[in-house]
Amino acid sequence: MTTASELPHGSRSAVLRVAAVIAETPDTCSLVFDVPDELSAKFAYQPGQFLTLRIPSELTGSVARCYSLASSPFTDDRPKVTVKRTVDGYGSNWLCDNVKAGDQLEVLPPSGVFTPKDLDADLLLFGAGSGITPVMSILKSALARGNGRIVLVYANRDAESVIFATELRELADKNPQRLTVIHWLEPLQGLPTADGLATLVTPYTDFEAFMCGPKPFMDRVHDALSRLGVPRARTHAEIFNSLAGDPFTDAEPVEVSEQDAAEAATVEVELDGEVHELKWPRKQTLVDIMLAKGIDVPYSCQEGECGSCACTVLEGKVEMDNSEILDPEDIENGYILGCQAHPVTDRLRIQF
């Protein structure tokens, strides 16, 4: 367990105190963190983002795991992540078995791009199991700061597995004109099907769609929305993979030979409203060159597994070492992973 005297393992992370541990269901708990005033800007977050936690391990020293924020930056005083046990899941079981209020954990700042650009939009939300976590953050934020309609389809293996059941019921009661919650329970309806989901959401095909859950569930949601003609640009999916590396240690600077520097591409990168023109050596990734220039690029794992560094190619072409978390349609629409991308063309424009 992290103690108060321990320092973070890298320049980006911080050690946070666990303010509370909340039992949500028999196999799910939430961790609420205290964020000191001096770290409030660093840990400010957008609805739907996640935190990466460093979890001690006797075998490897530590493992890194990403957990979505279920809290809303507009309605909750403290950030809260929700963790559901998975079979043979070391990180989730360790957290649920060991963490108590007052303990401290090392945490990376919020990351992720699973967040609405417009909270006033009409939202069609899909969650399955613990996939409700980032969806809940979006739902509460849109109710608090937006004025659109919100429809949630939430699938679970049984009623006992419904995370945030009481909170969802209370939110629906308080916002009957704006929020519709549709539960899909396996004992009553069986496993979700594309046909069944399409029938449920036919009236909402002009809404912006967000989904999170196991891959088979999201495949069926994608299928249902595709059948209904919902454009891919209006569907957003959140996928988490276990991280194999250690994102808590600072990345080593990459040495560039004279020849690599001479053959470098030129890239214009737009981030947070600023445009940076950079030389991009072919053997380096986009995240590498931005970090080398001191630019606060969003990233977490640098392994192509979390999607934090997703961005869009507006001009030019790249190749990626690992792009498995991106759907073919995403790649077709210009989405890339900055931590896996290398330039192919001599000139590029990229937008975060």
User: Is the same domain home to 26 and 97?
Assistant: yes
Please, is 266 exposed, middle or buried when counting C-beta atoms within 10 Å of its C-beta (0-12, 13-18, 19+)?
Answer: middle
Is the domain of 220 the same as that of 129?
yes
CA-closest candidate to residue 299, choices 111, 147, 139, 57: 111
- Mean pLDDT lowest for which of 19-23, 172-176, 233-237? 233-237
pLDDT average, residue stretch 181-210: 97
Determine, yes or no, domain membership for 5.
no
Residue 80: strand, helix, or coil:
strand
Q: Is the dihedral of CA 213, 216, 222, 225 positive or negative?
A: negative
Task: Supply the pLDDT for residue 52.
Answer: 93
Clarify whether residues 302 and 345 are in a common domain. Answer: yes
Quickly tell me which residue has 């919650």 as its tokens. 181
Q: pLDDT, tens digit, for every residue of 261-274?
A: 889 999 999 998 89
How confident is the model over 307-313, as a mean pLDDT? 90
Question: Is 117 a member of any domain?
Answer: no
Q: Do residue 179 and residue 228 come from a single domain?
A: yes
Computed over every residue of the chain, the mean pLDDT equals 92
Give me the CATH number covering residue 70.
2.40.30.10
The domain that holds 302 is classified in CATH as 3.10.20.30
Q: Provide the 3-class DSSP secondary structure of residue 64.
A: strand
252 in any annotated domain: no
Query: Is the Cβ–Cβ distance between 207 and 123 less than 8 Å?
Result: yes
pTM for this prediction:
0.85
> Do 157 and 103 sit in the same domain of this protein?
no
CA 30 to chain centre: 16
Return d(Cα 264, Cα 290) in angstroms, integer.
14
182 and 213 inside one domain: yes
CATH number at residue 132: 3.40.50.80
Query: What range defines the domain where residue 212 resides?
Result: 123-238
Tell me how far apart the alpha carbons of residues 158 and 107 are, in angstroms, rounded to a whole number. Answer: 32
Are residue 133 and residue 58 in the same domain, yes or no? no
- Asked if the structure places residue 266 within a domain, the reply is yes
CA distance 79 to 58: 28
Q: Are residue 132 and residue 105 in the same domain, yes or no?
A: no
pLDDT tops 90 at residue 206: yes
Same domain, 160 and 192: yes
Q: Which amino acid is at 90?
A: Y
Give a yes or no: residue 116 inside a domain: no
The domain boundary residue, chosen from 206, 238, 270 = 238
The predicted structure's pLDDT at residue 214: 93
Looking at the fold, whether 230 and 133 belong to one and the same domain comes out as yes
Residue 278 above 70 pLDDT?
yes
CB 96 within 8 A of CB 17: no
- Domain total in the chain: 3
Q: Are residues 135 and 104 in the same domain?
A: no
Q: How confident is the model at residue 43 (pLDDT cuts 50, 70, 90)?
A: very high
pLDDT band for position 241 (50/70/90)? low
**Residue 9 lies inside a defined structural domain of this protein:** no
Strands (E), the chain: 14-25, 28-34, 50-57, 61-68, 80-84, 104-111, 123-128, 150-156, 179-185, 208-212, 235-238, 265-271, 274-280, 310-315, 318-320, 335-337, 341-343, 347-351
- Which of 204, 238, 272 terminates a domain? The answer is 238
Residue where a domain stops, chosen among 110, 135, 150: 110
Please say if the pLDDT value at position 2 is more than 70: no
Asked if residue 70 belongs to a domain, the reply is yes
Residue 57 lies in a domain: yes
Same-domain check for residues 268 and 301: yes
DSSP annotation of 251 reads P
